A = this chain, B = another copy of it.
Amino acid sequence: MTTRARREREKEERRRSILRAAREVFLDGDNGFHRVTVDEVAARAEVSKGTVYLYFESKETILALLLLEGLERLLARLQEAYGAAEPLPADERLRRLGMAYFDFFAAAPEYFRLLVAMDRGRFPDAVKPEVYRQVLSASLDGLALVAQAVQQGVDEGLFRPCDVRSAAGILWATLNGSLELLEHPLRREMLGVEQETFYRAALETVIEGLARR
């Protein structure tokens, strides 16, 4: 009985260890996610290539799970940032959501790349629909949170009436674009601005853009 439980635990540990190895390869490489190789992941996890496939269906599945993991952590942070229990003005909620988003991806920019890459290449084909749906669903949940804040703003007369889901999407797009734009040092130099400063300004601009005059 104990044996069985231990087995189970070890298996889960191994699984995690492969996932961790994948994350390391994925995050370490200066190369970006498409340089993640099953060979490399296996080597880093100190298991054979076959073992990797014992735990995961495909390379893409591993990356998708990695992403999902990230998104779930992100979502938790966003929910925390939203501060549902606190009586906050809508713009403040958006500010907090935006900065939580920033903190998350500033800490792990590769997740951001992975999120962006998810639509491309072999992903849609190689990843089980279920996993794919989970990824999309996590994204949707995050978006819903933003939309909720926008709705609050509209309801309270702070924001102009609008399609709140689109508005949420616009904020999302802006924040993504800001993260991406300044990811490269040369572009930061070009704009002569620090990433966080720029990001905050972008966030404020969109919030301002939603505001009732």
Contacts and interface: CB of A to CB of B under 8 A. Distances in A.
Interface of A: 30-32, 34-35, 113, 116, 119-122, 124, 132-133, 136, 139-140, 143, 163, 165-167, 169-170, 172-178, 180-181, 183-184, 186-187, 190-193, 197-198, 201-202, 204-210, 213
Nearest to A147: B191
Contacts of A213: 213
A167 B193 CA distance: 11
Given A121-B31, A205-B209, A191 B165 contact: yes
Contact of A180 (B140, B173, B183, B204): B173
Contact of A169 (B132, B140, B175, B181): B181
Task: Decide if the interface of chain A is mainly helix, strand, loop or mixed.
Answer: helix
A43 to B, nearest CB: 14
Contact of A193 (B120, B166, B193): B166
A119 B183 contact: yes
Nearest to A199: B173
B210 A132 contact: no
Contacts of A113: 120
Nearest to A120: B32
A164 B54 CA distance: 55
Nearest to A129: B186
A88 to B, nearest CB: 21
A74 to B, nearest CB: 16
